[in-house]
Structure 1
Amino acid sequence: MKEPVVLIPGLACDARLFRHQLLHLSLHRPVMVVQPQGATVEEMSAALLPQLPPRSVLVGVGLGGDVALDLLRRSLDGFSRIVLISTDPLSEAPAIAAAREARMVAARSGRLFQAVAEEYPTADMGPNRARIEALLRDMAEHLGEGVYLRQQKAMQRRPDQQKTLRRAMIPALILGGRLDTLVPPRRHEFVAELMPFATLHMIEGVGHLLPLEAPEAVTTALEEFLRGPMLLR
């Protein structure tokens, strides 16, 4: 049986982030989407770990990638591969953490979508900007203010995972957008250099929300990666 794939959405996103990947990957293997629950990355990974099938493939976007890394930290032998999309594995810089406070104030005052819109710069989104913005609004409203606030706090307090990256003796795919201003290309290159068995794939002309901005390219990269050999340990 092929390895099951576990998809973990990013901040203010639900399963619709992975619509294209769900449609295509599920034709050939088991696929599940898990929504992180908790106030910290560590709480989220601790709650998810018992739910996941053994030897699965972790695929995370942004916050979802941070959760995937913390799952790997907890169980280095429990997963067969990992894909980090638009993921910053370092702890948050104080200036960026402070900027999140203003967005949380906006969310608490009834301006949730304004906060989410400020989270994801529209200039990075390419020609499908209007469609992506509409979907972001729907996903944020579906998840609600409480989830958004907990996820923001988790991003502020996320752990530095450099040690996990170095210890990850499994195939890894690092996917980034060349126009991403939130996790720039140099950060993706840094992550790939730290991981012993990582492949870096940068997608031209798109920014941070790769599964929405370049769904076909992301699915193709995932399918090629999943066809690659597993490491025997």
Structure 2
Amino acid sequence: MTEPIVFLPGYLCDQRLFYAQAYDLARDHIVIQAPLIGERCEEMASSLLPHLPRRVTLVGASLGGIVALEILRRAPDRVARICLISADALPDAPNVSADREPQIIQCRTGRLDEAVAAALPAEALAPGPARPNALEFFQDMARSLGPRGFEVHTRALQRRRDHQSSLYRAQCPVQVIAGAHDTVITPKRQEFLAGLAPNGAFTLLDTAGHLPTLEDPQAVTAILRSWLKPKARAA
């Protein structure tokens, strides 16, 4: 039994993003599905910290990964290990931040589905039979958050801090999982981030893009199970 696993959902997602992984890992781990509450990543981390167990394993996707890094920055002694899935530790580039503004306007004018499609185009997922279902699942989660949730999550991404130093200073194991077809946060960028951590590891899934937990849930679960196994001590 390792420390409790805290799943932090991604941009425009809720706890359903980790349904397959949480269901499987709950057989022999304490699993916590944590919401993202607040206007900024810092507020989301602040709202969670008082309610988390003393030591935790953090698994965050996309926006949830940024919040996980913020928790690591604030309370490194409370993080036993951290897994980032399709996440970025760098701040929004000016051109990317600017491209988000039309999406926010679409939301405010009743065109949420158009904004969601622009935020995550189909091409950001791996081609094949899993793509339509994963995309529809993502869109359904985004609709559940609604226009207000869309704007809050988007502003949080625009205002996020640079967490390269958080990774560089991390003393815990850091696992980064990327989809080979991700065009939102490229695998090259994610591999670079894994390399910043002293105990970083990088895994690339050829079967996924930006939503690995939905596109190839069994593969992500297998990676997490292997990563969570206690390492044998040298004699």
Q: Deviation digits for residues 94-150 of structure 1, max 9, x if unmatched? A: 000001101111111111122112111212323222212321222112122111111
Q: Which is further off, 106-115 or 89-98?
A: 106-115
SS at match of 1:182: coil
SS at match of 2:209: coil
- 2:57–2:80 Cα contact (<8 Å) kept: yes
Aligned to 1:200: 202
Q: Counterparts in 2 of 1:163-178, with a 5 A limit?
A: 163-178=165-180
**Which stretches in structure 1 are left out of the alignment for 5+ residues?**
none
1-structure distance, mates of 2:231, 2:37: 32
TM-score by length of 1: 0.95
Q: Counterparts in 2 of 1:28-47, with a 5 A limit?
A: 28-47=28-47
Q: CA deviation at 1:17?
A: 0.6
Aligned to 1:130: 132
SS at match of 1:179: coil
Q: Given the alignment, which residue of 144, 147, 150 partners 2:149?
A: 147
SS at match of 2:185: coil
1-structure distance, mates of 2:154, 2:23: 29
Aligned to 1:113: 113
SS at match of 2:141: helix
Aligned to 2:92: 92
RMSD of equivalent CA atoms: 1.4
Number of residue equivalences = 231
SS at match of 1:22: helix
- 1:171–1:230 Cα contact (<8 Å) kept: no
Aligned to 1:158: 160
1-structure distance, mates of 2:187, 2:155: 25
Aligned to 1:76: 76
1-structure distance, mates of 2:107, 2:231: 45
Q: CA deviation at 1:230?
A: 9.5
- 1:80–1:230 Cα contact (<8 Å) kept: no
Q: Deviation digits for residues 29-70 of structure 1, max 9, x if unmatched? A: 111111111111111111111111121100000000000000
**Which stretches in structure 2 are left out of the alignment for 5+ residues?**
none
Q: Which is further off, 62-71 or 181-190?
A: 181-190
What's the % identity of the aligned pairs? Answer: 41
SS at match of 1:154: helix
Q: CA deviation at 1:206?
A: 1.7
